[in-house]
Amino acid sequence: MARKSRNQNEKSTQNSVAKKPSASAVDSYAEGWDKIKPSLSKDLLEAIHSQGFERTTPVQFATIPQILKEKDVVVEAVTGSGKTLAFVIPVLEIIKKRSKKNNSKNPKTIIISPTRELSQQIYNVFQTFIELCGLDYSLYLAIGGSQDEADTVEKIAKLKSDGATILIGTPGRLEDIVCGRLIGSTVKKSSGPSKNWQSSTGRRSTPVVNCKDIEILIMDEADRLLDMGFEKQINMILSVLPKQRRTGLFSATMNEALTELIRTGLRNPSKIVVKVESDSMLLSEQKTPSTLSIYYLVCPPDLKLYLKSKQQNTDASTGSDSGGKASISKTSYHVASLHGQMDPKRRQITYDAFTNLAPETTGLLICTDVASRGLDIPDVDCVIQWDPPTDSKAFPHRCGRTARAGREGSALVFLNPGREETYVEFMSIRKIPMFPTPYLDSNLAPYEPKKSENENMGFPEEDMESNSLIENLRKMISKDREIYEKGLVAFVSFVKSYQKHEASFIFSLKKLDLQKCAYGYALLHMPELRDLKEQTFVNYEVNLDKIPFTEKKREKIRIQKLKEKKAKRKATSEQLTDISKQKSSKRKLESWSHQAEIKEKRTARKEKRARKKEAVFKAMETQALEQMKLPEGSSNKNPETDIANTIFKQKLQGTGESLLKLVKSRNRSGNN
């Protein structure tokens, strides 16, 4: 996300760097606030005007009367169209009216949002209007991790004793407050649903607040709440709220999963869909603001880092550019990063610092999807998507961090050549128009190509300046272990996420040039690619064990660990060698010193076995002969018996078993 400094911003507005190619500038504003029926109270109207909001936006004009008339609403309107005020204003108006009759300490409204930052932002909007109207309402922000545990305990105690008019927060924390905490559960560390929440039912502590007076429930970014797996928490919250309440779902995108929530949580809701007009037949009912220009840049993955920029000629009348090329790294930026793995405190400080940048400072926020929804960062000029999101629904939300409330803005997404160009059509079917661009201009905005350039929109591959950039980066990385390790993790994350793309027919890992991708991440080596037939990736010449951490303490620990590891490895291999040596020398010793003894023993064993065998046969022979004794008085000259005896004697050479069988069969034939 890029924010220009004020000066640059003014310049770019004059030059209209990123104009929407075909959609007309839609009037983002509807009617005056006084036209809303039932009417809003005077102090609220004054507060709205004091904020410079002269007229309602279409979504506000359509939604506010419905909520005031006690209707449930499902609201779908493009990013930056003013959905927050569409619920903040009627919530305050309703509480104002009701508080005359009911001044209990119990909360009157709950607002659920998917992230800490968005909850904080909604909290701030409520706070502003409460202060401007001089209302005596208290707010409670229920977000995980932003305060330390002691602070939270204190705040919860205060909430218990003093109550709060409006609760705003993420689903898990809100569930703890209104339903009680699951006993034995652990504190959640991330904004997503905790794995420890095996079930939202089970033994719970006493709820912190009583929800019997809740008048309104709002779920902002409702589809995202379900996508993030908060269904259980939401259902638990719903189960403790009075049936006679109003419920509103808000988002720029709705999905099928919401159908069930709408069926169980809402009563006969009004569906409000605010469409964006466009003069293009193709783009009617466009899902992104008309002031937002979305561009795509088809660019090989190893050239992405270069973020090729082109200095435009300030003399717009000639229509030509100076041809000069400027690497964006030459400009100085306030660079910050924001992601879900960050320590919550640091995350908040980073976010606050970025949103409150001085007007003359240009900012660059490198972030994950934690910042993709709902956030209203002032003066964002351009959103650059390094890769398209795995869930295509996130795309308009990401782009929508710019071009808010009727302001102009541009977004750019990089596409890998080959299959990913199809994404443009994929998005166009979803009413999200995109246009090609070959460059970023010097203000980091996509360069709007002239008509003559339209035929050749591909990234000029022959311009291999990025090679030197990546080689410089590799050189730098080879001296800094932290970046080296982070690079590997980033690449693995990229590959994993690529596999998760919902549009797998466009984003196929098999078709992706992984070697170029790895090079694009400036990796030094790629052992996993060793088995590939065509090797294009060239390992960087460096001893990986020797890449140091720049932080001395860390490096010392690493060296120590490395030494220990090496020593252990050496000891193990020595041990292994010793064992094998011992074995072979034992064999040798045996053959020399005990050879005769072993031989003797073997012969003795053999002889013993033979003697045993002979004894067995002898015993059998006696037994058999005994059984074959001729009856008294019979002639010894019986030829049959003689033959039988001969056969028997021959058979004595066989086994004892066949011998006995023979005897038995002979006896049987003798009896017959």
Interaction site with ligand ATP (CB under 6 A): 53, 56-57, 60, 77, 79-85, 252, 374, 376, 400, 404-405
Structure tokens at 537: 């990736």
Residue carrying the six token digits 């269904």: 231
Closer to ligand ATP by CB, 112 or 524: give it. 112
CA-based nearest residue to 411, from 394, 424, 396: 396
Q: Which amino acid belongs to residue 24?
A: S
Structure tokens at 467: 């090679």
CA-based nearest residue to 293, from 22, 4, 19: 19
Question: Do 215 and 95 meet the contact criterion of CB atoms below 8 Å apart?
Answer: yes
Closer to ligand ATP by CB, 133 or 179: give it. 133
Structure tokens at 160: 């218990």
Closer to ligand ATP by CB, 56 or 293: give it. 56
Distances (CA, A) of 648 to 420, 625, 637, 644: 90, 9, 17, 6
What's the gap between Cα 34 and its chain centre? 44
3-state secondary structure of 317: coil
Strand partners, 77: 274
> Closest separation between CB of residue 140 and ligand ATP, Å?
21
> Closest separation between CB of residue 225 and ligand ATP, Å?
13
3-state secondary structure of 272: strand
> Closest separation between CB of residue 151 and ligand ATP, Å?
28
Question: Do 38 and 65 meet the contact criterion of CB atoms below 8 Å apart?
Answer: yes
> Closest separation between CB of residue 352 and ligand ATP, Å?
16
- Residue 110: its H or E element: strand 109-112
> Closest separation between CB of residue 86 and ligand ATP, Å?
7
d(CA 435, CA 412): 9
d(CA 164, CA 142): 11
DSSP secondary structure letter of residue 184: T
Question: Do 348 and 147 meet the contact criterion of CB atoms below 8 Å apart?
Answer: no
Closer to ligand ATP by CB, 113 or 185: give it. 113
Instruction: Return the number of other C-beta atoms located less than 10 Å from residue 526's C-beta.
Output: 21
Structure tokens at 153: 């305990």
Closer to ligand ATP by CB, 165 or 402: give it. 402
> Closest separation between CB of residue 394 and ligand ATP, Å?
12
Closer to ligand ATP by CB, 57 or 233: give it. 57
Closer to ligand ATP by CB, 168 or 177: give it. 168
List, as one string, the DSSP characters of 219-241: EETHHHHHHTT-HHHHHHHHHTS
CA-based nearest residue to 32, from 15, 49, 19: 49
3-state secondary structure of 32: strand
Would you say the C-alpha torsion 145, 146, 148, 150 has a positive or negative sign?
negative
Closer to ligand ATP by CB, 8 or 253: give it. 253
Closer to ligand ATP by CB, 31 or 154: give it. 31
Closer to ligand ATP by CB, 85 or 518: give it. 85
d(CA 617, CA 99): 112
> Closest separation between CB of residue 409 and ligand ATP, Å?
12
Closer to ligand ATP by CB, 292 or 364: give it. 292
DSSP secondary structure letter of residue 331: S
Cβ-in-10-Å burial (0-12, 13-18, 19+) of 194 comes to: middle
> Closest separation between CB of residue 40 and ligand ATP, Å?
13
Question: Do 479 and 542 meet the contact criterion of CB atoms below 8 Å apart?
Answer: no
Report whether the peptide linkage leading into residue 289 is cis, meaning its omega lies within 30 degrees of zero.
Answer: no
* 384 Cβ contact list (under 8 Å, min separation 6): 1, 2, 307, 411, 412, 413, 414, 440, 444
Closer to ligand ATP by CB, 78 or 412: give it. 78
Closer to ligand ATP by CB, 79 or 442: give it. 79
Closer to ligand ATP by CB, 40 or 209: give it. 40
> Closest separation between CB of residue 64 and ligand ATP, Å?
11
Closer to ligand ATP by CB, 85 or 112: give it. 85
> Closest separation between CB of residue 166 and ligand ATP, Å?
17
Give the strand pairing for 363-367 and 380-385: unpaired
- SS3 letters for 381-447? EEEEECCCCCCCCHHHHHHCCCCCCCCCEEEEEEECCCCCCHHHHHHHHCCCCCEECCCEECCCCEC
> Closest separation between CB of residue 84 and ligand ATP, Å?
3
Termini Cα distance of the chain: 108
> Closest separation between CB of residue 60 and ligand ATP, Å?
6
d(CA 32, CA 160): 40
Closer to ligand ATP by CB, 87 or 498: give it. 87
> Closest separation between CB of residue 258 and ligand ATP, Å?
15
